[in-house]
Structure 1
Amino acid sequence: MEFLPVDQLNVDQRVIEVIKSRGITKLNPVQSEAVKKGLLEGRRLLVTTPTGSGKTLIAELGMISRILDEGGKAVYVTPLRALTSEKFATLKDWERLNLKVGMSSGDYDTDDEWLRDYDIVVTTYEKLDSLWRHRPSWLKEVTYYVLDELHYLNDSERGPVVESVAVRAKKRNLLALSATVSNYKEIASWLNAEPIATNWRPVPLKEGVILEDKKGCTVIFQDNTVLTLRGSDAITSYTLHVVKNGGQVLVFRNSRKTAETTAKKLAVAMEEVDLNDKELLEVSKKFKEVEDGGEGERELLSELALRGVAFHHAGLSKGLRDVIEASFRERKLKVIVATPTLAAGVNLPARAVIVGDIYRFNRRLIGYQEELSVMEYKQMSGRAGRPGFDEYGESLIVVRDRKNVERVMKKYILSDPEPIESKLGNESSFYKFVLGLLASEGTLSEEELMDFVNQTLLDKEIARNYFQSGIEWLNENGFVEGEERLRLTTFGRRVSDLYVNPFTAKVVRDYLSGSEVGCSLAYLHLLAYTPDGPSLGVSKSEEDRLLDEVYCPLFVDEPEDYDEFYNFLSAAKVALIMNDWIDEVDEDVILQRYQIGSGDLRNLVETMDWLSYSGYHIAKVIGREDHYDNLLTLNKRVKDGIKEELIPLVQIPGVGRKRARLLYSNGIKRPEDVIMNVEKVKGLLGQKLGEKVAKEAARIIAGVR
């Protein structure tokens, strides 16, 4: 294994200084191999190595060397916003070289022309895909793409857009990164890239299973070494074993409820561990101070933190997740019990990873359970081992039946992850892909369009079949026009810019075209019922109540098919939640009433904000001004969670739903009223905030904002 001294790199001396400022004097074997294979000369590479092997620095060297040598811009693409923020923070180091680093995610109906002033742009796959559709001038200057977490090609939801981006990015210099690509030679060939594949890790990984029974727990590692622990609960026994020996633990459970229950159980068990009570009291207080979390969540996490434990899942607000992650990185919290989404979302290494379940719930399957993929397990186990703290990491799968030990060991530990395959093989994803190509490339002949399609990972015969049916469907439904050369219609262009699925656009257009105006609840239900709508679980006990509470006529009738009926109910639940939200029902009441988390509510607001925005633009392009007016008002209410009378006030930066209601209840109803009653506003909001709000109101009235 070669460790290349940083001083030997053939790069600008300032680059070496930045790397050394991080305490790095030698490149590790993976990084050294990338340099050897032509990273600094712009060679196209696919690097597939374990988590923690330094792939981000490889990306930095690739981007910076190209920008300094050739000019142009570089784009770093990630699948998740959390990762985008994480990479942006790391890349800010390069501003010491007078390079500007920018970040953009979300807000799909914009070209972000302001990014023309930046040398490095960090973004998500979805945002980059939408930017190509808007064709900002600065994108022509991009000469280098980094495609991070490329294994998301295999993700059923995000895979199609990752593949769409890869098809267009591979026309430029690129660097693709992943921890888990078993068919890396095939993927490298598809990308026209040189593969670098190695199992080298900075911290070696010991994998095994832990078998629980009434007599105790037995750990069986891959190398056949055995460890016996007291206690009949595997997760508790091994967690205590690791923490007592100075380590931290990530426990993965298959549901939010199980994660929370496990965290409570571990907190009780941690009573026998000597912890730093002063540090944990500080963490506990931070949970109580988080503004965007639900009261119940804050109280529970605050209590668990006193014993060094927390739970983590997508239902929590960003503020709560930030406290959990920061406290774990600082080694104050000792244990996090999480759902598998954490494995890919953030960089949180631990001494040990415990995979508590190999099954997860899937209501579409008979029996409602399916096994985790090998790739998902590899993502979780990859978090084991903290560089600089641990000599090795440990990853254990809990097995509750001795007969399954050999099978689990063979499937998850001794096998490679599943090969990456195209996820464009369905009508919804493929038609959106074709629409995006026409938006980004302009007018194309069928042959030119098919050339792009042939660059996907799809089987050529399958691709041809989807192509023919796709062109026919898009034409028949008014998205494209033309015979010899295809182009987007006005409707197709607007739908593409909005970044909604064409099937979503068709549903909204068809219902709005044939219906009179409806109440807010009806619009919310329609938008939630589209393919882009958010999905929520609906329990048996909720079904009748949801139907009873949908008090106004809906655009969509109850379907007879069970799956569609379930989707109908899910959309009804989303609509009722959002209707409470825009009626200014207290957030904690909403969370309790519908048994959702604060993070769920934030995600629903964000998605329904986008869909209501798209809805009123679709209404406008089809000439239904009556629906347009209603949807425009609805969008403004969804964005801030307000009744209609507060819309003028929430235009003022710093004034949200609660402050707007306080001002309105005291006779301050418009920005003009703020200016006329500055002292009253200060008395209501406080001196400092009141002054700021008054200044912002003045700017609005003056037309500055």
Structure 2
Amino acid sequence: MSFTSVSEVNLDSRILEILIKRGIKEFNPVQTEAINKGLLNGSRLLVTSPTGSGKTLIAELGMLTHLLSEGGKAIYVTPLRALTAEKYRELKDWESLGFRVGITSGDYDSDDAWLKNYDIIITTYEKLDSLWRRNPSWIKDVNYFVLDEFHYINDGTRGPVVETVAMRASGKKLLALSATISNFERISKWLNANAVITNWRPVPLKEGVIYPERKKFVVLYNDGTKIELAGQDPILSYVNYMIEAGGQVLVFRNSRKNAETTARKIASFLPIRKELQEISEKISEVDDAGSKEKDDLTSIVKSGVAYHHAGLSRSLREIIESEFIKRKIKVIVATPTLAAGVNLPARGVIIGDMYRFNGKILGFQEEISVMEYKQMSGRAGRPGFDKEGESIIVVRDKKDVEKKMKKYILSPPEPIESRLGNEVAFYSFILGTLSSEGKMTYDSLSDFAHGSLLDSKLIESYLRQGVTWLEENGFIQGDEDDLSLTKFGKRVADIYINPFSAKVFKDYLPGRDISCNVAYLHLMAYTPDGPRIGVGRKERDELLDYVPCPLFIEEPEDEDEEYNYLSALKIAMITNDWIEEIDDDVILEKYNIGSGDLRTIVDTMDWLSYSAYNVASILEEVEHHNVLRKLNMRIKDGVKEELLEIIKIPGIGRKRGRLLFTNNIRKPEDVVMNPEKVKNLLGTNLGEKIVKEAARLISGIT
């Protein structure tokens, strides 16, 4: 593997200048190989290499060289919003060359016309797919695509969209970046791309297992070396060993409860450090988190330990990530989602569980995939800090050592396969394709579908069934020589909900009397796009007893459907408490959820209520539309109907809105007419800002 001096590569002098400012003097072996395979000449490439091997710089070189030589626009696509924000910060450097860098995610019902003025656009796969459905004029100018974390094509949820985006980028310049892909020959051929395949890492990775032996724990590495650790718990023993060696540790556990319990346990064995008081205070001052979460974290973070999972608020996660990068927090105990979410390397990674919980299979557990293991273990080794990274699997029985070593450490990840092979994914694919193309013959639709990774026989089966189902349910019209979306189908495609979700609204709203808010919220949450949440056995009867009115959907007899029904009912109750202005802490405690869960539920139900009232409008269900429209307005900010006027002012949320309303300031005009009163209630600086915003709002209305 060779390194190449940046001065030896035929780069535009402007690119070279920025690289030198960054302190980049040479290209590493992965980057060198990409350049040799045609990166700077616009060749389509599939680059697979470990985490931290410099793939982002490869993308930057590819995009910038292309834009400087050929013009147009470049789109950088990621699977997660957190990654989108991270890449946006990194790519802002290139604005010094005169290129405008923009970011967009969420708000699927928009063509983002403002992006016509941007040259480099960072977005998510779902957002790009939604943009193609709306077909804005500027998207025709995009002639370079970077598909990051491309192995997400194997993900059951996001995979179909990643595959669709790759198909639609056919014929354009393309750079797919991925962790190791075992069947790269097939995937590179499918992408019509040159393959750049390497296992080079900037920090070598040493992998192993830890298992009990007598009264100690043995760490056996893949190079055959061993160390022995004293202690009563393998995770505690390894964490202590790594911290004493001056390293940081990421511990992965398979559930939030296990992550939290493990973090507290580790913290109890480590000394409190005075210099961490500042982090503790930052956590306690966060606005978007529950009191219980903050109290718990402020306690353990003083020992340099934190836990991290999707149940925490965004602000809490950002503080934990930032302080870990600064090397103040020494240990993070996380659920596996962290491995794919943000760039947080540590000297040591310990994977505490090789199983995940799955309520749909007997025993509630299934082994994690090799790819998931590779994602977690790939976080080991901090470039610039560590000469070597270590990744350790906890094996609780010595008899399983060889099995775990062989399956996870010595084996490649699972081959990438299409995830379009189910009705929900494929029918949505058909809908999106017709939305993008306008009109198609059945044969042209079939030709496009055969450009996927799915087996040809399955494509024909799903395509025939899908077109028939979409016609029967009013989404598409015409014959095999002239297929197009109906007005209903086009609206469903634009708002980016699954056709099966739209069918739920279409089946249950027409001809039904208006019901209470919980009934509508339950209907939304019951759709395939609705959020899912665990329901304990004790909760079942309590939930059913709380139902305040007849629901649109009757309780099913099927066990699986009953689970979805009760999950939707719990989501409906949570959302209803939210719009009734129940305090966040009360909601979190009552339903045993985290502040991050609440935010996710609110965001999803905001989108679904928007979708529902749009579907009701197309169906000309005026009364249902009016109820759903008002619900949508309330869900966004979590307010009663009486606050809808005052929260129109930017910067006024549920708490400030209630404070102003209680003091007889109930609409924007009241704010403008009572500036001193507003300042007294909200504070001088914020009050002045709110008065100005109210004045702008009024002038805009009038």
TM-score (norm 2): 0.99
Q: CA deviation at 1:443?
A: 0.3
Q: Which residue of 1 aligns with 2:633?
A: 636
1:541 matched to 2:538: yes
Tell me the distance in 2 between the aligned counterparts of 1:680 and 1:546.
43
Matched with 2:172 is 172
State the match for 2:36 in structure 1: 36
Q: Mean Cα displacement is larger for which, 619-628 or 162-171?
A: 162-171
Alignment partner of 1:368 is 2:373: no
2:159: which partner in 1?
159
**Structure 2 spans left out of the alignment, 5+ residues:** none
Cα distance in 2 for partners of 1:20, 1:351 equals 28
Q: 542, 553, 556: which is aligned to 2:553?
A: 556
5 Å-filtered alignment, 1:614-633, equals 614-633=611-630
Q: CA deviation at 1:626?
A: 0.3
Name 1:77's counterpart in structure 2: 77
Q: Aligned with 1:703: secondary structure? A: helix
The letter for the 1-side match of 2:360 is R
* Secondary structure of the corresponding residue to residue 397 of structure 1: strand
Correspondent of 1:676 among 665, 673, 676 = 673
Deviation at 1:171, TM superposition (A): 2.5
Per-residue CA deviation, residues 505-533 of structure 1 (Å, 9 max, x unaligned), is 00011100131111111000000000000
Q: In structure 1, what residue type is equivalent to 2:60?
A: E
Alpha-carbon offset, residue 278 of structure 1: 4.0
What pairs up with 1:47-58 in 2 under 5 angstroms? 47-58=47-58
Which sits farther off after the overlay, 43-52 or 694-703?
A: 694-703
Q: 1:402 aligns with which of 398, 418, 426?
A: 398
Displacement of 1:539 in angstroms is 1.0
Determine whether 1:201 maps to 2:198: no
- What is the identity, as a one-letter code, of the residue corresponding to 1:613? Y
Instruction: Work out whether residues 155 and 423 of structure 1, in 8 Å CA contact, stay in contact via their aligned partners in 2.
Output: yes
**What are the superposed Cα offsets for residues 477-534 of structure 1, whole Å, 9 maximum, x if unpaired?**
0000011210000000000000000000000111001311111110000000000000
Task: Please report how far the alpha carbon of residue 213 of structure 1 lies from its aligned counterpart in structure 2 after TM superposition.
Answer: 5.1
Look up the match of 1:377: 373
Detail structure 1 runs of 4+ shifted over 2 Å in the superposition. Answer: none
Given residue 24 of structure 1, which amino acid in structure 2 is its aligned partner? I
The C-alpha deviation readout for 1:614-641, integer Å capped at 9, x for no partner, is: 0000000000000000000000000000
Once structures 1 and 2 are overlaid, which stretch shifts more, 204-213 or 236-245? Answer: 204-213
> How do 1:265-414 and structure 2 match up within 5 A?
265-271=265-271, 277-414=273-410
Please identify, of 280-289 and 201-210, the stretch whose mean Cα deviation from structure 2 is larger: 280-289
3-state DSSP of counterpart to 1:227: strand
**1:232 Cα deviation after fit:** 2.3
**Structure-2 separation of matches of 1:356 and 1:196:** 33
Aligned match of 2:610 in 609, 613, 616?
613
Report what 1:695 is aligned to. 692
Q: Which residue of 2 aligns with 1:125?
A: 125
What SS is found at the alignment partner of 1:306?
Answer: helix
Q: Is the 8 A contact 2:73 2:118 kept in 1?
A: yes
What CA distance in whole angstroms lies between the structure 2 residues aligned with 1:517 and 1:153? 42
User: 512, 520, 529: which is aligned to 2:509?
Assistant: 512
Deviations 1:83-141 (A, max 9, x none): 00000000000011111000000000000000110000000000000000111111000
Separation in 2 of the partners of 1:306 and 1:265?
13
Q: Does the aligned pair in 2 maintain the 1:351–1:390 contact within 8 Å?
A: yes
Summarize deviations over 1:568-594 as a string: whole Å, max 9, x none: 000000000000000000001100100
Q: What's the CA shift string for 1:35-80, capped at 9, x where partnerless?
A: 1111011000000000110000000000000000000000000000
Q: Distance in 2 between matches of 1:452 and 1:513?
A: 35
SS at match of 1:75: strand
Secondary structure, aligned partner of 2:564: helix
Match of 2:585 in 1: 588
Aligned partners of 1:385 and 1:392 also within 8 Å:
yes
In 1, the alpha carbon distance for the partners of 2:244 and 2:307 equals 20
Alignment partners' CA distance in 2, 1:202 and 1:392:
9
SS in 2 for 1:513: coil
Conserved 8 A contact 1:205-1:393: yes
1:212–1:233 CA contact under 8 A, matched in 2 = no
Work out the CA distance in 2 between the residues paired with 1:214 and 1:357.
Answer: 22
Q: Secondary structure at the match of 1:176?
A: strand
Deviations 1:289-333 (A, max 9, x none): 111111111111111110000000000111000000000000000
Q: Contact 2:535 / 2:566 at 8 angstroms: preserved in 1?
A: yes
Q: Which residue of 2 aligns with 1:221?
A: 221
Asked whether the 8 Å contact 2:260–2:333 carries over to 1, the reply is: yes
- The match for 2:457 is 461
Letter in 2 for 1:45: L
* Match 2:469 to one of 450, 470, 473: 473
User: Partners in 1 of 2:226 and 2:39 — Cα distance?
Assistant: 43
- Alignment partner for residue 642 of structure 2, among 642, 645, 650? 645
Query: Aligned with 2:509: secondary structure?
Result: helix
Q: TM-score, normalised by structure 1?
A: 0.99
Paired residue secondary structure (1:181): coil
CA positional deviation for 1:23 = 1.4
The offset of 1:9, in angstroms, is 2.2
**Alignment check: 8 A CA contact 2:160 2:418 kept:** yes
- Alignment partner for residue 449 of structure 1, among 433, 445, 448? 445
Q: Match of 1:576, as an amino acid? A: M
* Per-residue deviation, residues 585-619 of structure 1 (Å, max 9, x unmatched): 00011001001000000000100000000000000
Maintained 8 Å contact 1:242/1:248? yes
CA–CA distance in structure 2, aligned partners of residues 456 and 650 of structure 1: 46
Q: Aligned-pair distance for 1:214?
A: 5.8
Tell me the alpha carbon deviations over residues 438-457 of structure 1, each in whole angstroms, 9 at most, x when there is no partner: 00111000111111100000
Aligned equivalents of 2:153, 2:511: Cα separation in 1:
38
SS of structure 1 residue aligned to 2:218: strand
Give % identity.
61
* 8 Å contact from structure 1 (residues 213, 232) kept in 2: no
Measured against aligned partners, the alpha-carbon deviations of 1:665-684 in whole angstroms (never above 9, x if no partner) come to 01011111111111111111
Query: Aligned partner of 1:450: which letter?
Result: S
Residue from 592, 595, 598 that aligns with 2:595: 598
Q: What is the aligned partner in structure 2 of residue 488 from structure 1?
A: 485
Aligned residues: 701
1:212–1:232: 8 Å Cα contact kept in structure 2? no
Q: Which amino acid aligns with 1:90?
A: E
Q: Is the 8 A contact 2:274 2:302 kept in 1?
A: no
Aligned residue in 2 for 1:11: 11
Counterpart position of 2:139: 139
- Structure 1 position 180, deviation (Å): 2.4
Q: Is the 8 A contact 1:213 1:400 kept in 2?
A: no
Aligned counterparts, 1:177-188, within 5 A: 177-188=177-188
Indicate the SS of the match to 1:263: helix
| CA RMSD across the alignment | 0.9
Contact 1:210 1:399 in 2 (8 A): yes
Aligned pair in 2 of structure 1 residues 640, 354: CA closer, same or farther (>3 Å)?
Answer: same
Superposition deviation, residue 540 in structure 1: 1.0
Q: What residue number does 2:92 align with?
A: 92
Give the aligned residue type for 2:465. S
Aligned-partner Cα distance in 2 for 1:13–1:323: 38
1:343-371 Cα deviation digits (max 9, x unpaired): 00000000010000001100000111100
